[in-house]
Structure 1
Amino acid sequence: MTADPAQMLLDGRVPAQAVIEELLARQSFVRPRTWIQRVFGVSPIGPDSWPWYKGALGEIAVGRILEGLGPEWLVLHAIPVGKGDTDIDHLLVGPAGVFTLNTKNHSGQSVWVAGRTLMVAGKKTRHLYNAAYEAARASKLLSAAVGSAVNVTGMVVVVDPKGMTIRSQPDQVVVLREVQLLGWLKRCRRVLGPAEVGQIAAAATLARTWHRNPVAPGNGDTLQVHFNALRLLVEQARRRRAAWVLGVPAAGFLMLANGAQTLAAIALSLSGR
């Protein structure tokens, strides 16, 4: 039986659901590794899949952090929005207001922020523009669903950067590291009462609020199982590569040591000892 699109809810979607769906679709075209590739720790992730895998790790990490917000907050993940296949990584509705979170996994990279500019490894990005646009669109859609103005704050949450320098916060968007997120939200002053939170949360949970043609949300738990299996293979490959890096010099040392012992034995035999 097909669910009524007007009644479909989004509260069952898991962190990174849309990204994982795309990742697994791309991985379906990747040829399985040969046994020798597995032995030497070649990653099972295809080149086109890697940005999606990294993005999923970032959204999952932020989703885990958001579990600490408590019952006063509604937290939604991977909200399909518009008429295409774009989504909002995370949406929060609580006493401190309404927030859209754009998660960016810049593990091992330096991030620099000043005014309207956010640079990653020395290159300008569109993170601030995209986050501001996302918040404005969310505000428009929620306002229409609720019947009154709903202010939405856009955020860029940077996951595991090598370093992050913020010369000045942008006017329209808040930029934070993931480790700062929970404390920042809990320190925000209350701007919504329980009735307002409930009204906005009820509208936000409906798929029809966000998408013109909502589709069945899919089984997030099954997707997580597939992703975790893939993640295990990636970690196994990483450990195997590390073992080879550490093992090759050790093997070389043993070969040299064994060679020296052999030469010494030959010299002793020639000397008649």
Structure 2
Amino acid sequence: MEELLTLQALARPRSTLQRIFGVSPLTQESSPWYRGALGEIAVGRLLANLGPEWLVLHAVPVGTGTSDIDHVLVGPAGVFTINTKNHSGQPVWVAGRTLMVAGTKTRHLYNGAYEAARGAKLLTAAARFPVKVTGVVVIVEPKSLTIRARPEAVKVVTDAQLLRWLRGFRPVLTGEEVANISAVAVQPGTWHRRPAPRGDQVGLQRNFDALRRLVDQARRRRAAWVLGVPAMVFLTIMNGILHGLGGR
């Protein structure tokens, strides 16, 4: 959200005509960040249903820069890092080390595996005992997900499959182990060398919600024009026909 709003602040305001015709307020640069934010929000809401025995963290800053892990889970089934990818309406194909979206190769599997390995290293150092982490790539609302050969280093599921998939694991951590790992996982210093103080989360959410309303409004106006123009043409033709018949 922060990166999205930073980029969006650089966008030129839409003209009155652009607003009337439903031109999106998003720019080419900010649009991928907007889709990503929507995907993470959707998955975050799903994860809220896991139950009190799970620790769920979102947008965990990691390393020394601005990188983050979309979601970190600690529960009886183990520890998971989740990389959320919003590919709504697009076909996704997976085979071994390859994940393709609409025929284009991506680095999703590599990134998911890297995040898991990074998380395991950081949590192991903080907890002072080995912590195994499973990397997961969650595809949000794809048109289809075809898995020809399952990747070895990371799991791939859709958002619709996620909760059922997580609940299908047998417990591998005791309550004490979950508590010990959770205790270090919630510490910002576990993940980032120079953790920044939390900003204005309420203001951030408010600004994102305002932008989302503008995007939704623009989409509705575009849809209205798409449906309305043919209807107007049809009515014009019909009026012409009826007028011609009436003149006979």
Work out which of the two has the higher radius of gyration on C-alpha atoms and give 1 or 2: 1
Partner of 1:242: 223
The answer as to 2:44 corresponding to 1:63 is: yes
Aligned counterparts, 1:154-165, within 5 A = 154-165=135-146
How far, CA to CA, are the matches of 1:217 and 1:69 in structure 2?
25
Distance 2:176 2:142 in 1: 38
Alignment pair present for 1:32 and 2:13: yes
The answer for unaligned runs of 5 or more in structure 2 is: none
* Structure with larger RCO (C-alpha < 8 A, sep 6+): 1
Q: Does 1:147 align with 2:140?
A: no
Partner residue in 1 for 2:160: 179
**What amino acid does structure 1 have at the position aligned with 2:84?**
T
Aligned residues: 248
> Which of 195, 200, 222 in structure 1 is aligned with 2:203?
222
Give the alignment partner of residue 130 of structure 1, picking from 111, 131, 139.
111
CA–CA separation in structure 2 for the residues paired with 1:103 and 1:47: 20
Q: Percent identity?
A: 63
TM-score (norm 1): 0.88
User: Match for 2:211: what amino acid?
Assistant: L
User: In structure 2, what residue type is equivalent to 1:34?
Assistant: S
Aligned equivalent of 2:172, options 191, 202, 216:
191
Deviations 1:8-57 (A, max 9, x none): xxxxxxxxxxxx00000000011111111111111111111100000001
- Aligned-partner Cα distance in 1 for 2:148–2:240: 59
Match of 2:72 among 75, 91, 96: 91
Corresponding residue to 1:49 among 7, 10, 30: 30
> Which region of structure 1 is more displaced relative to structure 2, 181-190 or 252-261?
252-261
Residues 174-218 of structure 1 show CA distances to partners (whole Å, capped at 9, x for unaligned) of 100011110111110111111111111010101101111110121
Q: Aligned partners of 2:20, 2:55: CA distance in 1, in Å?
A: 45
RMSD over aligned CA atoms reads 1.1
In the aligned structure 1, how far is the partner of 2:62 from the partner of 2:2?
Answer: 16
